[in-house]
């Protein structure tokens, strides 16, 4: 019985390894080569690319930007998402409409929303500067640009967090809240001792999704700033894209991709461990 | 009902029969050319008509034109991936001016030097010819041309008694004088976001000060002239204050909007903006003038060359027919038609004296001097790598993260490293 099960799984396994495992191995293989399409150079260089990467300022800068972006945007999204989910979980009139409205930013394609925000952030006729009555060069100043990208990402993906957390909130039995209230717990205590612990597995799932997505961020920032000014918003994925597809250095570009892969792998393992501990 | 069905079946059979016949006759020696290009401006039918005309003149060739995504980055990526894979799915490709040496070095393009002998080369503007020549061989034919221009408000200059500036210093003093007396008017706007357009802008200052990026295969980007030029650009923002800081995020369209709403005195942009300014309802209609970009004292003005070139895929199965197609599209008559209908600027000098063009598109005809001064960005297969170094360094200098000296010293080091790639 067990054997036949394995046989049925085989086609799916073969397909999966063709489309995921083979490219992963090939990228790793490429990362050990000096391969420049234009100059017809292709030779094995061992870990030279990794040594170069270690000394590459642009890589460290991109890593720093990526970590900054990920930490800030994910925390912001979690806090905002939790607050909005709690609000929407209350019953009030037009609850359905409100829930639908919250979803809109998430439903807009990333490239479209990035273009939209590019105009919102425009110094001269952007609505943001109009509303706050200032002339801030949002995307042109090294300080604001990355934070502007974080803010756009928070606007765009908080709805995703809201949806997942709302689902989590809905499965918490009402009796627990009632019992807590009868025991004389105040709102903060209920949130801290009842809601939060029961929501923990969902929060971890949200964190896995969001951290991995944010760490690999490409399109939103690429469209918004192109990595500028002066690479202050260049993330690892953008750097890898430029090396791979604009300058066609397949060897070093693959090295960068491998590093992104290792980072996201480490992040997933960290979260999955947390999650399995939380389940126990 | 039955009769109708029979009729349909009969018609279908007949059509099979007849097309079958035609294909049998022609199938053997009819070449199908696939022509890849970016979106053609204006009415697509006009371009189709041009291709039909070629088919009529060359009954043994059929042309299938296929449009690539609008972004040039994606087009570059498409070509690189397919040509590296030795794809013969397309024969003729239209290329941005900066790709030709790169593609030629990679061995992806057919050498078509025989299509452009010396006498024929003299018919074209010098800039594009330089851009399609790599190691003294020609790999593409210039199709249409573009170059940086200075737009100015002729009404304002006239009111205050100024003439269009010849030097950058004149531009600064004119702009300072007029903006001090006009409300809500920027002096001079250009494109300063970290992207290819920034490089186009900066090179115009380098060249108009006698500087350059690469000379004899070596980086000369940290020359005193270049440092002076880059410093001047930064000073336009922070010292002379005629350029608003918003240029550090600006690409072509936002600057075109600002100027088009009458909110700037001078603007550096490409020729495309002109038609938009002259449309009915445009706030600056009839108030805009264009001229060559200014230069530093006693130096020559220069503008960055843009535009597209036609080349042939090395792996094409119909190279001879492909040669006929690019020859046709770059010949005087079709270039003239494209200029009159969709406003593509011809690469042949003689067309700028053409009566029809002067009458129908006086603006284009007036750009002759600008195009004569248009210079290609460094013609080297390393260009795509070099620009990846220049973009962030220029951006750093403009936003004040680095001094111009630091930025150019760092760029010099990196470009030197890149140029050693082959060794």
Residue of A nearest to B407 (CA): A230
The verdict on whether omega for the bond into residue B345 sits within 30 degrees of 0, i.e. cis, is: no
Q: How confident is the model at residue A6 (pLDDT cuts 50, 70, 90)?
A: confident
Domains and CATH numbers, chain B: 31-146+306-375 (3.40.190.10), 147-304+378-419 (3.40.190.10)
Measure the CA–CA gap between B309 and A244, rounded to whole angstroms: 24
Residue B84 touches chain A, beta carbons under 8 Å: yes
Q: Which tens digit of pLDDT belongs to each residue from A66-88? A: 999 999 999 999 999 999 999 99
In a domain, A267, yes or no: yes
Q: What angle do CA A17, A22, A23 make, to 5 degrees?
A: 120
Residue of A36, A40, A230 with shortest CB distance to B399 = A230
Report whether A139 contacts B195 (CB < 8 A).
Answer: no
Q: Which of A121, A229, A247 sits opposite B399 (nearest CB)?
A: A229
pLDDT score of B73: 87
Residues of A in contact with B406 (CB under 8 A): none
What pLDDT, on the 0 to 100 scale, is given for residue B17?
Answer: 44
Q: Give B306's strand partners.
A: B146
**Cβ-defined contact of A227 to B421 (cutoff 8 Å):** no
Q: Do B245 and A231 touch (CB under 8 A)?
A: no
Chain B residues inside the 8 Å CB shell of A39: 105-106, 381, 421-422
A2: tokens are 């067990």
Could you give the residue ranges of the DSSP H alpha helices within B85-182? Answer: 100-105, 118-121, 126-132, 154-159, 168-181
Chain A interface includes B391 (CB < 8 A): yes
Contact B395 A230 (CB under 8 A): yes
CB environment B203-221: b (16+ within 10 A), e (fewer): bbbbbbbbbbbbeeeebbb
The verdict on B409 touching A (C-beta cutoff 8 Å) is: no
- Residue-by-residue DSSP string for B281-330: T-TTTT-EEEEPPPBSTTS---EEEEEEEEEEBTT-S-HHHHHHHHHHHT
pLDDT one-digit tens code per residue, B231-245: 999 999 999 999 999
pTM: predicted TM-score of the whole model, two decimal places? 0.88
B395 and A38 in contact by Cβ < 8 A? no
Taking a C-beta distance cutoff of 8 angstroms, is the pair B284, B292 a contact? no
Mean pLDDT, chain B, integer: 91
At residue B14, the 3 state secondary structure works out as helix
When mean pLDDT is compared across A200-209, B4-13, B372-381, the lowest value belongs to: B4-13
pLDDT value of position B261: 95
Q: Does residue B185 belong to the interface with chain A, where contact is any CB pair within 8 Å?
A: no
Domain membership flag for residue A204? yes
> What number is the average pLDDT over the span B90-114?
96
Which residue in the set B247, B381, B396 is minimally distant from A230, CB to CB? Answer: B396
ipTM for this model: 0.85
For residue range A86-136, list pLDDT tens digits in order.
Answer: 999 888 888 889 888 999 999 999 999 999 999 999 888 889 999 999 889
Whether residue A220 lies inside any domain: the answer is yes
Instruction: Give the pLDDT band (50/70/90) at residue B4.
Output: low
Q: Which of B249, B247, B264 is nearest to B184 (CA)?
A: B264
Other CB atoms closer than 10 Å to residue B417's CB: what's the count? 12
Average pLDDT on B203-219 reads 96
Instruction: Tell me the residue range of the domain where A112 lies.
Output: 57-279
Q: How far apart (Å, rounded) are the C-alpha atoms in residues A213 and A217?
A: 6
pLDDT in tens, B166-196: 999 999 999 999 999 999 999 999 999 999 9
Going from the C-alpha of A211 to that of each of A151, A235, B179, the distances in angstroms are 15, 14, 49
Taking an 8 Å cut-off on Cβ atoms, the answer to whether B80 and A228 are in contact is no
Give the nearest chain B residue to A56 (CA atoms).
Answer: B414
Q: Maximum CA pair distance of chain B? A: 88
The shortest CB-CB distance from A230 to any of B73, B105, B392 is to: B392
Nearest to B381 among A38, A58, A125 (CB): A38
Q: What's the length of chain B? A: 423
Q: State yes or no: pLDDT of A1 exceeds 70.
A: no
Domain membership flag for residue A42: no
Dist. CA B141–CA A9, nearest whole Å: 56
A190 found inside a domain: yes
Answer for the pair A138, A148: CB distance below 8 angstroms, yes or no: yes
How far is Cα B132 from Cα B407, in angstroms, rounded to an integer?
A: 30
State the helix-helix crossing angle for B44-57 and B319-329, rounded to 10 degrees.
120
Is B194 close to A249, i.e. CB distance below 8 A? no
Choosing among B98, B395, B421, which should be mutated to test the A contact, i.e. which has the most A CBs within 10 A?
B395
Cross-chain residue pair B421–A229, CB shorter than 8 Å: no
- pLDDT at position B20 is 41
B contacts of A41 (beta carbons < 8 Å): 421-422
The residues near B143 (Cβ < 8 Å, ≥ 6 apart) are B94, B307, B308, B309, B310, B326, B329, B330, B335, B344, B347
SS3 B5: helix
What is the rounded CA–CA span in Å between residue B376 and residue B302? Answer: 10
pLDDT of amino acid B287: 96
The residue among A41, A228, A248, A256 with the most chain B CBs within 10 A of its CB, best to mutate, is A228
| Band of residue A47 on the pLDDT scale cut at 50, 70, 90 | very high
- A→B contacts (Cβ < 8 Å), by residue, are 36-41, 58, 121-125, 137-142, 225-232, 234, 242-243, 245-249
Name every residue whose Cβ is closer than 8 Å to that of residue B234 and which is 6 or more positions away in sequence.
B397, B398, B400, B404
pLDDT higher than threshold 80 for residue B398: yes
Whether residue B260 contacts residue B133, with contact meaning beta carbons closer than 8 Å, is answered with no
- Which DSSP category does B113 fall into? G
Report pLDDT digits (tens) over A240-275: 999 998 899 999 999 999 999 999 999 999 998 988
Q: Is B319 in CB contact (< 8 Å) with chain A?
A: no
Domain contains A258: yes
Min Cα separation A152/chain B (Å): 16
Stretch A132-146: mean pLDDT, rounded? 91
What residues of B are in contact with residue A227 (Cβ under 8 Å)?
Answer: 194, 392
Asked if pLDDT for residue B3 goes beyond 80, the answer is no
Q: Tell me the average pLDDT of chain A.
A: 92
Residue B92 or residue A228, greater confidence: B92
Place of tokens 């903060």: A188
Query: In this structure, is residue A154 part of a structural domain?
Result: yes
Cα separation, B117 vs B84, whole angstroms: 29
Q: How far is A50 from chain B (nearest CA, A)?
A: 17
CA distance B14 to chain A (A): 45
Residue A172: which pLDDT band, with cuts at 50, 70 and 90? very high
Residue A123: the pLDDT is 86
pLDDT at A4: 75
pLDDT of res. A278: 63
DSSP at B377? S
- Could you tell me which of A247, A257, A251, A256 has the C-alpha nearest to residue A42? A251
CATH of residue A235: 1.10.3720.10
pLDDT of residue B19: 44
Residue-wise pLDDT tens digits, B23-74: 434 445 688 999 999 988 778 888 999 999 999 999 999 999 999 988 888 8
Q: How far does Cα B129 stand from its chain's mean position?
A: 13
User: Which site among A38, A118, A124 would you substitute to test the B interface, given the most B Cβ atoms closer than 10 Å to its Cβ?
Assistant: A38
Calpha distance B407→B401 (Å, rounded): 9
| ∠ Cα A221 A227 A233 (to 5°) | 75
Question: Is residue A3 situated within a structural domain?
Answer: no
Count: domains in chain A: 1
Whole-angstrom distance, CA of residue A157 vs CA of residue A124: 27
- State the pLDDT at residue B421: 73
Q: How many CB pairs under 8 A join A and B?
A: 107
Shortest CA gap A262–chain B (Å): 25
Contact B246 A226 (CB under 8 A): no
- In DSSP terms, B346 is beta-bridged to B144
CB count in 10 Å sphere of residue B299: 16
What pairing do the DSSP bridges indicate for beta strands B149-153 and B288-291? antiparallel
DSSP chain A: -HHHHHHHHHHHHHHHIIIIIHHHHHHHHHHTEEEETTTTEEEE-TTHHHHHHHH-HHHHHHHHHHHHHHHHHHHHHHHHHHHHHHHHHS--TTHHHHHHHHHHHHHS-HHHHHHHHHHHT-TTT-HHHHHHT----TTTSHHHHHHHHHHHHHHHHHHHHHHHHHHHHHTS-HHHHHHHHHTT--HHHHIIIIIHHHHHHHHHHHHHHHHHHHHT--HHHHHHTTT-STTTT--HHHHHHIIIIIS-BHHHHHHHHHHHHHHHHHHHHHHHHHHHHHH-
């Amino acid at each position: 019985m067990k054997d036949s099960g394995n046989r049925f799984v085989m086609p799916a396994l073969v397909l999966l390894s063709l489309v995921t495992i083979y490219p992963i191995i090939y990228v790793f293989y490429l990362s050990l080569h000096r391969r420049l399409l234009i100059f017809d150079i292709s030779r094995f260089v061992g870990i030279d690319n990794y040594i170069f990467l270690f000394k590459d300022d642009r890589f460290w800068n991109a890593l720093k930007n990526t970590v900054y972006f990920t930490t800030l945007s994910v925390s912001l999204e979690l806090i905002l998402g939790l607050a909005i989910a709690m609000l929407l979980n209350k019953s009030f009139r037009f609850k359905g409409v409100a829930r639908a409205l919250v979803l809109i930013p998430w439903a807009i394609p990333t490239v479209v929303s990035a273009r939209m925000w590019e105009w919102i952030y425009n110094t001269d006729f952007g609505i943001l500067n109009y509303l706050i009555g200032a002339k801030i060069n949002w995307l042109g100043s090294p300080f604001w640009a990355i934070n502007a990208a974080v803010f756009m990402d928070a606007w765009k993906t908080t709805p995703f967090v809201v949806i997942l957390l709302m689902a989590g909130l809905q499965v918490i039995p009402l009796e627990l809240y009632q019992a807590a209230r009868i025991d004389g717990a105040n709102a903060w205590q209920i949130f801290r001792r009842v809601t939060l612990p029961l929501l923990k597995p969902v929060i971890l799932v949200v964190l896995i999704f969001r951290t991995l997505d944010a760490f690999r961020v490409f399109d939103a920032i690429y469209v918004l700033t192109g990595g500028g000014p002066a690479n202050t918003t260049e993330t690892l994925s953008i750097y890898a894209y430029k090396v791979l597809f604009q300058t066609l250095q397949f060897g070093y570009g693959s090295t960068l991709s491998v590093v992104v892969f290792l980072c996201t792998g480490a992040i997933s393992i960290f979260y999955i461990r947390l999650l399995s501990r939380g389940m126990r | 009902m039955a009769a109708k069905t029979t009729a349909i079946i009969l018609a279908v059979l007949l059509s099979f029969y007849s097309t079958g016949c035609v294909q049998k006759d022609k199938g053997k020696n009819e070449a199908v050319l696939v022509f890849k290009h970016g979106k053609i401006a204006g009415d697509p039918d006009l371009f189709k008509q041009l291709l039909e005309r070629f088919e009529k003149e060359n009954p043994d060739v059929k042309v299938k034109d296929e449009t690539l995504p609008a972004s040039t980055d994606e087009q570059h990526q498409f070509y690189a991936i397919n040509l590296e894979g030795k794809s013969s799915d397309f024969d003729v490709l239209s290329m941005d001016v900066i790709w030709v040496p790169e593609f030629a070095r990679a061995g992806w393009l057919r050498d078509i030097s025989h299509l452009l002998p010396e006498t024929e080369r003299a018919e074209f503007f010098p800039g594009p010819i330089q851009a399609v020549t790599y190691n003294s061989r020609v790999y593409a034919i210039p199709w249409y041309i573009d170059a940086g221009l200075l737009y100015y408000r002729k009404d304002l200059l006239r009111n205050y008694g100024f003439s269009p500036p010849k030097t950058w210093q004149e531009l600064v003093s004119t702009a300072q004088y007029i903006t001090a007396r006009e409300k809500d008017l920027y002096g001079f706007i250009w494109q300063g976001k970290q992207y290819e357009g920034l490089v186009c802008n900066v090179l115009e200052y380098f060249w108009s000060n006698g500087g350059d990026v690469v000379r004899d295969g070596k980086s000369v980007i940290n020359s005193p002239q270049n440092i002076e030029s880059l410093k001047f650009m930064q000073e336009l923002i922070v010292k002379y204050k005629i350029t608003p800081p918003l240029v550090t995020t600006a690409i072509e369209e936002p600057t075109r909007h600002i100027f088009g709403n009458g909110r700037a005195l001078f603007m550096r942009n490409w020729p495309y903006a002109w038609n938009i300014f002259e449309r009915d309802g445009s706030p600056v209609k009839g108030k805009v003038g264009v001229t060559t970009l200014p230069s530093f004292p006693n130096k020559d003005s220069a503008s960055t060359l843009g535009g597209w070139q036609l080349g042939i895929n090395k792996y094409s199965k119909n190279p001879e027919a492909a040669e006929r197609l690019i020859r046709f599209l770059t010949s005087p008559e079709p270039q003239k038609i494209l200029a009159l209908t969709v406003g593509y600027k011809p690469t042949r000098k003689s067309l700028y004296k053409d009566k029809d063009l002067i009458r129908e598109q006086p603006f284009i005809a007036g750009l002759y001097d600008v195009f004569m001064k248009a210079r290609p960005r460094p013609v080297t297969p390393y260009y795509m790598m070099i620009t990846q170094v220049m973009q962030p360094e220029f951006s750093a200098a403009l936003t004040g993260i680095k001094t111009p000296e630091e930025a150019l010293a760092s760029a010099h080091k990196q470009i030197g490293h890149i140029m050693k790639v082959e060794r």
